[in-house]
Structure 1
Amino acid sequence: MKELLLALQFLTRLPLPAVQADAGAFGRSIRWFPAAGLVIGILVAVTGWIGAQLDPWVGALAALVTWVAITGALHLDGLGDLADSGGAIHKGPERLREVLADPHVGSFGVTAIGVQLIAKLVLLHVLIASPIAWTLVFVPAAARLGPLVWSWWLPPLYEGLASRFRNVIRPGDLIAWLILLGFAGALATPALFAAPVLIAGWGWRLRTMLGGISGDGHGAGIELVETGLLVFLLIALRIG
């Protein structure tokens, strides 16, 4: 269970007991990212439901604030960095990587973060007061299957965070979580079956744009897959 606690410590700002671990244990914690996402999803859904007792917009705002606060805006930072680097893609791959390594946030990044927050707020407003509001629990978990796939599929861009996860992903980890995702989709909503498609699409985008994966790529991907799943939940709601 040490790896699960490490995953929760890395992906959330929850008050947790300190865990002593080496680099190997930290790398193996990626196997528990979807489980950490499930904890995030439960808290997001519960706070959204409580706020929705006053008004759907209050519920959506409560869910969004919880989502950002519990993750410490970790993934939004990656989204901003990828947006800034994407703005320099016309200048070649070297310039793109230079911008990606720059810790400052530019206009593309600020705009991407703002649009992402607005998109989540609007989508949550519709979903939080719907009969399928409880399926929000599974969205962060499904999105956090992405880092396992991207780490296994794509080479790391740097000797950093992403490289620590490269050699610890086993095919059995991917199969187990895909099976659990299938059960969740059958139990909750078929919209969750869009997760593998969204994850594969982002991996392909990173491969063509950057040639590999980085911590920012993981963060941006998680954010985009989450929003994509919210869109598919809305489509499922309207069709149903």
Structure 2
Amino acid sequence: MPDVRADAADFAAAMRWFPLAGLPVGLAIWGGIWAGLPVDPWLAALFGMAGWVAVTGGLHLDGLGDVADAAGAGHKDKRRISDVLADPHIGSFGVVAITLQLAAKLVFLSLLAQRGGAWALPAIACISRIGPLVWTLTLPSLHAGMGSRFAGAIRWRHVAPWCAIGALAAWFVPVLALAVPVFWLWRAWVRSRLGGISGDSHGAGIEVTETVLLLAWVALL
């Protein structure tokens, strides 16, 4: 991408387009599956998974690992949560969470490749990214950082069009409607366990939503 002059306000306002960014993510996964499917569904799943990690830079997986570490370290003392989230190192909880997440997605992508359901991946990636907009509006910021930058740039009027698009998509792929309870369950867990939203918990929430929607889509097929 070319260099773009942008300040902190521009960066925060970009969150309004997170769901749109999910479309090329889903297309990259779908493309990987398409490339590997003539050989074997598992190779298709591997190519799709590699595309998924590459196009996102592993950012959301990093958030998932950090949140897992923070939740594990803070089960007795919540004052440790922010310290662990800020620590660039990864602990055992994070390793386990990321490993299980990659394994789950690999299995689901293989099943989608076999059952002809990969075409829904752009919609799944798009709808999963509506969650951060909702969490930003309904949760306090845990600390100063990426998550807190978004709070002043998002309003419900920015969420409403994506909700309408999500409802339309759910008309064709009904399992996408499960994103709504997942969003609110993740919000409740973050509120009770972490105390607030951060960039890491945004990324982790996207990962969780994607996996639940993949599981539901595979089950439906």
TM-score, structure 1 as length reference: 0.89
How much has 1:131 moved relative to structure 2?
2.9
1:152·1:167 contact (CA, 8 Å) conserved in 2? no
Q: Deviations over 1:82-106 (max 9, x none)?
A: 1111112332210233222221101
Q: Does 2:45 match 1:51?
A: no
1:84 to 48, 69, 94: 69
2:63·2:202 contact (CA, 8 Å) conserved in 1? yes
- List alignment gaps of at least 5 residues for structure 2: none
Query: What secondary structure sits across from 1:48 in the alignment?
Result: helix
1:205 corresponding residue in structure 2: 189
2:112 corresponding residue in structure 1: 127
Query: What secondary structure sits across from 2:75 in the alignment?
Result: helix
**In angstroms, what is the RMSD of aligned CA positions?**
1.1
Task: Within 5 Å, give how 1:37-186 maps onto structure 2.
Answer: 37-186=22-171
2:203 corresponding residue in structure 1: 219
How much has 1:123 moved relative to structure 2?
0.7
1:231 corresponding residue in structure 2: 215
1:190 corresponding residue in structure 2: 174
Matched-pair identity in %: 48
Query: How many residues are treated as equivalent by the alignment?
Result: 221
Moved more, 214-223 or 124-133: 124-133
Tell me: higher relative CO, structure 1 or 2? Use CA pairs within 8 A at least 6 residues apart: 2
Query: What secondary structure sits across from 1:172 in the alignment?
Result: helix
Q: Which runs of 4+ in 1 moved over 6 A?
A: none
Query: What secondary structure sits across from 2:3 in the alignment?
Result: coil
Matches of 1:24 and 1:102 in 2, distance apart? 26
Matches of 1:17 and 1:128 in 2, distance apart? 34
2:136·2:147 contact (CA, 8 Å) conserved in 1? yes
TM-score, structure 2 as length reference: 0.96
Q: Deviations over 1:28-47 (max 9, x none)?
A: 10000000011111111122
